[in-house]
Amino acid sequence: MLKIGPYEFKSRLLLGTGKYPNFDVQKEAVAVSETEILTFSVRRMNIFEASQPNFLEKIDVEKYNLLPNTAGAKTAEEAVRTAKLAKASGLCDMIKVEVIGDQKTLLPDPVETLKASEELLKEGFIVLPYTSDDVLLAKRLEEMGCHAIMPGASPIGSGQGIVNPLNLSFIIEQSNVPVIVDAGIGTPSDATIAMELGADGVLLNTAVSGAEDPVKMAKAMNMAIEAGRLGYEAGRIPKKRYATASSPMEGMSIS
């Protein structure tokens, strides 16, 4: 089970809702992914205006846990304001803190992310910050009280996969709260690697919504995350420098 604050989830896949070719494909992809957590940008949702386009219009939102995110925020102040809007709409008390520090790489601003997370924790939110793969920053966010840490695999939408598995493994090793690898996943095998490293979950969007067949890819991601988790729990064999026979002859009576 994936436990985030007071919530428990069977699925370890968190899915974004943007950039699908149409709402029918989005709906089917979400269904086959078997995700229980959908994230969406509060700023793009028009949550208070029923007449405006709704990016979740074909989805039965009652069936999912919604994880609003503060995408578009460049400062802690903007992120806090956006989070409060989401909470006021009654959608959920979880918030993905996303404060972008650079528009080319879309990497998170560490100082503003810390500030926003601290403020939102004080306000009683369940806080999941999107952060870089900086090990010490992840530690500070956990010590502050964040309910999960979400280090990036690589830049949002880049599909580069996990560029620094060593840092991710340090973050996972030190963490007492769930670590959810967020952003940059390109293929099912990237998601499996994150889970084999010991991540508690994976958040992804572009790899599914931008695939040639988003529904097939959503299914593949579901299976990949499940496989990676099983492999992690099963415990991998140690790597050796030289070969060891798969069928040893010792103790056999055949000469």
Ligand X SMILES: CC(=O)[C@@H](O)[C@H](O)COP(=O)(O)O
**Candidate segments 53-61, 109-117, 165-173, 178-186, binder of ligand X by CB under 6 A:** 178-186
Q: Is 13 left (phi over 0), alpha (psi -120 to 50) or beta?
A: beta
Does 16 bind ligand X (CB under 6 A)? Our answer is yes
CB 58 within 8 A of CB 49: no
CB 121 within 8 A of CB 80: no
Query: Rounded to an integer, what distance in angstroms lies between the CA atom of residue 92 and that of residue 49?
Result: 17
Residue 151, interface with ligand X (CB under 6 A)? no
How do strand 126-131 and strand 150-151 relate by DSSP bridges? Answer: parallel
| Catalytic status, residue 27 | no
Assess 69 for contact with ligand X (CB under 6 A): yes
| Tokens 């496989």, residue located | 227
Q: Where are the beta strands (DSSP E) in the chain?
A: 2-4, 7-9, 13-16, 37-41, 65-69, 94-97, 126-131, 150-151, 180-182, 201-204
Instruction: Report the residue number whose CB is nearest to ligand X.
Output: 16
What x/- string results for residues 192 through 231 when contact with ligand X is judged by CB under 6 A? Answer: -----------xxxxx------------------------
* Contact between 131 and ligand X per CB under 6 A: no
Q: Does 29 bind ligand X (CB under 6 A)?
A: no
Determine the size of the site formed for ligand X (CB under 6 A).
Answer: 17
From 87, 96, 115, 219, active-site residue: 96
d(CA 90, CA 172): 32
Here the tokens at position 228 are 């990676």
39 binds ligand X (CB under 6 A): yes
Min separation Cβ 247 and ligand X, Å: 43
> Does the footprint of ligand X cover residue 156 (CB under 6 A)?
yes
Residues that bind ligand X (CB under 6 A): 16, 18, 39, 69, 71, 130, 156-157, 182-185, 203-207
Residues marked as catalytic = 96
Q: Give the residue numbers of the binding site for 1-deoxy-D-xylulose 5-phosphate.
A: 157, 183-184, 205-206
